[in-house]
Amino acid sequence: MIKLGDIEIIRVEEVMLVEEPTSFADFRPELIADIRDWLLPNHYDEKTNTFSMSVHSWLLRTPDRTILLDTASGNGKSRPLSPRLNMLNTPYLERLKAAGVAPEDVDTVIHTHLHVDHVGWNTYWDGTRWAPTFTNATTIMSAIAREAHDPKRGAAAKPPEANLQFVDSVQPLLDAGTVRLVEGTETLFPGIELVQAPGHAPGHMMVRVRSGGREALFIGDVMHQPIQIANPTWNSKYCEDPPLARETRARVLAYCADERCLTLPVHFNAPHCGYIERRKAGYAFVPSDEMP
């Protein structure tokens, strides 16, 4: 657990995955020579030439709020376009409970974006339908993201299998009337605000938290792997608007380095979060010694 003033930050893991280097078009093994000290061994395996990737949520407990940032992939969901996430069976809810939080305790869910590995635990199969998991929560998402991913709206031209995560994990919340659509620039609660971070996905946004004289920035998928810190122009193959994703990544790295804020992505392996440090002409990752 990380303490940020009076706010507790806990990582809730769903699954660990292996990511092929083909996720980055410009990757070559020899490029890690200058960053071995912080990339190895947790983030890149030289023997297998693969990256480690975590899929997790961030849990925030404030004096009066229980907030879940992104909800991973979910169990028992058909994902033909994402075989690694197809029909998962993980103890995600048990891990959430081990952190002291039952699903009904969550009062706010915030989605940085609506990709398949960020919305899945919004719902569970109750035997007849995909029912809301966090029954007392308001779910906050970008209006742009909703428009882009809704098969009745911006995603109408996509094949049905590309829209499954919206149909089974987002639409039930819209039907229940528990979704709050935002622009991505709002102050949600004291010390907790949204920041637009477009490029990786339509309406992608970050969450900035300030408490006790410290700042944390939950960056969603602005970066998938720490190697992008040293290579800010590299997009992952999942970035939907590559030029804009590069612009956002450059802006976020500069901000995190200048403000010395704790940086918390959604897919970094242990220690999962840290600080961005200027080094020579670029940046380096300084892992946090706090346990998330």
**CATH number for the domain harbouring residue 258:** 3.60.15.10
In 3D, which of 138, 5, 139 has the Cα closest to residue 63?
5
Provide the residue type at 263 as one letter.
T
- What mean pLDDT do residues 74-78 have? 98
Contact (Cβ atoms closer than 8 angstroms) between residue 27 and residue 233: no
- What mean pLDDT do residues 20-49 have? 92
- What mean pLDDT do residues 203-208 have? 98
DSSP strands (E only) in the chain = 2-4, 7-19, 44-45, 50-61, 66-69, 108-110, 123-125, 130-132, 138-142, 179-182, 187-189, 192-196, 205-211, 214-220, 262-265, 274-279, 282-287
For the chain, what is the largest distance between any 2 Cα atoms, rounded to a whole number of angstroms?
Answer: 58
Q: What is the pLDDT of residue 20?
A: 93
- What mean pLDDT do residues 3-29 have? 95
Phi, psi of 91 (to 5 degrees): -85, 45
Mean pLDDT in the chain? 96
How does residue 281 score in pLDDT terms, banded at 50, 70 and 90?
A: confident
**In the structure encoding, which two tokens stand for residue 220, read together?**
């969603």
**In the structure encoding, which two tokens stand for residue 285, read together?**
């990752």
- What mean pLDDT do residues 190-205 have? 98
Provide the residue type at 82 as one letter.
S
The residue range of the domain holding 31 is 2-287
How does residue 292 score in pLDDT terms, banded at 50, 70 and 90?
A: low
Exposure on the CB side of residue 252, measured as CA atoms within 13 A: 34
Integer CA distances (angstroms), 234 to 26, 161, 200, 240, in order: 7, 28, 12, 13
> What confidence tens digit (pLDDT) does each residue in 79-132 have?
999 999 999 999 999 999 999 999 999 999 999 999 999 999 999 999 999 999
Any domain includes 211:
yes
Q: Is the pLDDT of residue 275 over 90?
A: yes
Q: Is the pLDDT of residue 134 over 90?
A: yes
> What confidence tens digit (pLDDT) does each residue in 235-244 have?
999 999 999 9
> What confidence tens digit (pLDDT) does each residue in 47-75 have?
999 999 999 999 999 999 999 999 999 99
Any domain includes 292:
no
Any domain includes 116:
yes
Distance from C-alpha of 205 to C-alpha of 191, rounded to nearest angstrom: 16
Distance from C-alpha of 210 to C-alpha of 188, rounded to nearest angstrom: 12
Q: Specify the pTM.
A: 0.97
- Report how many domains make up the chain: 1
pLDDT above 90 as % of the chain = 93
- What mean pLDDT do residues 251-272 have? 97
pLDDT: is 30 or 178 the higher one?
Answer: 178
How does residue 280 score in pLDDT terms, banded at 50, 70 and 90?
A: confident
Contact (Cβ atoms closer than 8 angstroms) between residue 103 and residue 92: no
Q: What is the pLDDT of residue 291?
A: 66
